[in-house]
Structure 1
Amino acid sequence: MVGAGPAGIYAADILDKSDVQVSVDLFERMPAPFGLIRYGVAPDHPRIKGIVTALHKVLDRPGIRLLGNIDYGTDIKLDDLREFYDAVIFATGAMSDRALDIPGIELPGSHGAADFVSWYDGHPDVPRTWPLEATSVAVLGVGNVALDVARILAKTADELLTTDIPPNVYEGLKASPVTDVHVFGRRGPAQAKFTPMELRELDHSPNVEVIVYPEDIEFDEGSMAAIRGSKQVDMVVKTVQEWAIRDQGDRPKRLHLHFFHSPAEVLGTDRVTGLRTERTELTGDGNVRGTGEFHDWDVQAVYRAVGYLSSPLPEVPFDHNTGTVPNDGGRVLDIDGDQVPGVYVTGWIKRGPVGLIGHTKGDAAETIANLLADAPAEPKEGDPDAILGFLEERGIPFTTWEGWGKLDAHERSLGEPHGRERVKVVERDEMVRVSRD
């Protein structure tokens, strides 16, 4: 298994519980497991991070082994894995930003949400500082990631001190001069992609005023059908409607939710000095069209949160249009549409970065069912520890599940004097050193 995030661990769980005698090794690029939970979920989401408890129980099982700090394509290749294993499953997720093709998007001060998330989540492979110099910021997109980015930008750093944010992130946010965060959606409230819980959490900060504009509350027949057909959509719409008619308070920071504004251009010459949006209108079926009416917003930074994108994997087919590995039920297909023997995918690299974390369980079940159906009558025999010798021979300082226990205890010890559950270690070398001591 390549990838020890939720998708990989769910697949390992299902495989381990099957009727087939099996052992599973999870290869993870980071020194620590849990993938998206550790490096993609906002630090002020303890309920979502609670999923780690269930994943922890899976990794505790004797038939499942974690091998971390191993970069597929650099430290180990597909032929190496095939030498040691009957099947290889890729569960590498999606951590890059989807592009947004509008003028000015490449200006300094224009950022991808995934890069910002990696920074505030203490990812070891990104810079330790972030340019937080704007007083007014635009966030493009109305999914959960957009709300996470907006919330982290709007909250005070001290509000996040109860979380696991590293010291460099705290210092960066503490110095941020931001007073206004504007979130822009191309369509209306009934088409927003965030969940009701994520939406309501925006209003929990004593320092952030959430503002919705009455002129943005509009529905067509397609919108009403979406509201009638989904309890979640109904809850989102009701919350937004309530915020649109309430009196504005006097909290020191403001988070503005704008609907029916399509990003048209990022303004500026040497850096971002504004954002131009085109007003849109509903077309009856829940879609929108441009009205030709433009509005310029005085912002000094723009964050695009228009979706994640998976990265191509060496020696594995990749569809650049969909950002996924071509597959049939998790069975990887080559350019002729033929099955690549013994190679599978699950999670976002299989179906694209849509849905919630729990949705990867269904992906995993389908992939594992097909893998077991393809299983060879005579599986490989050999020393299960041969892979460890291979890694040591290559001089790869890999980490283990036991090592994660050491790092986990170390991070908790860093937080304890401050009344925090943990303080996340950022430096890769430090993570490896603690894990291998």
Structure 2
Amino acid sequence: MVTVIVLVVVLLLVLAGVAAAALLAPRRRRVVPPSGGRGSTVLQPGVDYPPGVGDDVTVPRDTPTRTLEDLPLPGVEEPLEVDETPELLLERPEPVAGRLVRLRARLSRSQTSLGRGLLALLSRDSLDEDTWEEVEDTLLTADVGVGPTQELVERLRTRVRVLGTRSPEQVRDLLREELLALVAPELDRTLATTRHPDGRPAVVLVVGVNGTGKTTTVGKLARVLVSEEKDVVLGAADTFRAAAAEQLTTWGERVGVPTVRGPEGADPASVAYDALEQGTQLEADVVLVDTAGRLQNKVGLMDELGKVKRVLERKGPVDEVLLVLDATTGQNGLIQARVFSEVVAVTGIVLTKLDGTAKGGIVVAVQRELGVPVKLVGLGEGPDDLAPFEPAAFVDALVE
């Protein structure tokens, strides 16, 4: 009987405890649907109170969310900073000094070089009239030109007659001296690329016919000047070909040089003038202006080229007008040089495709034709295969 009473008492105590806990627990506030009236309150489960049975536990749409980028990576205390515009790695152009060493090696390997053929002829035991005719033919084939060829042959005949017997070393020295005199080492081959005292940059206008590598030459020349610590601005005044402006812009970007360009078909003179204005504002040392390739017998195009030069001269004289010639074009290159010089007063020649060719005599011929020096030579397809022309190094490459 006592046992039953004890069990009943325990059961009553348990029920009383459960009832007390229910009375003491805070009542959960239900979400009140918005009624549209003032003072209405909307409580969100999972935000204002823990969600219960019947509540939607999905995070509300207007709740701020964290993206994957907001979450820290394992072992990383702070988010990584991402540079969305990484700095362009600029190329460092090869120093100009010594570039002709490569040309010397290429010419010496060429089995058709001018010097090699002359040395073989002049080293014969007996130099009769037939041999001298071969010497003359060799020079003419190398595009030396009729006048310079006759002068050189006459001097060689006189000196060989005085020497009498000849050793190979004497023949080489003799030929080197005469070729060097023919190339005219006394001509001033420096480029006028120094900023003027009044703050105006030097202006270099580059002209030529289609296919000579003119735009590429402008890009390579920019690299030469950058290697000499010059500040350069490029002007893409070849507005007839969109590809030309794109090509020139790419050359400039590789060495950190800005390019001024206009829309396709824009006035070339206007683009050239804008480039000069930009170069002045940026305090550049030199502005290189690329022009459209044109045939020397197209009067309208040549007149337009003259206009480009006249517009640039509103700010001051154009410091250099460089004519780009293909060394393999021979006598046709002389015709081009003559016409361009009449229109824009060429001050210097750039010979491309000179390496490994038997046409090295064009150096002599074009200088005689225009009375201006060859200032730069193209040595190959590489970005730094453009070098100042050095007469002694060139002749040494021929007779090596």
TM-score (norm 2): 0.29
Larger radius of gyration: 2
Decide which structure has greater strand share.
1
Decide which structure has greater helix share.
2
TM-score (norm 1): 0.28
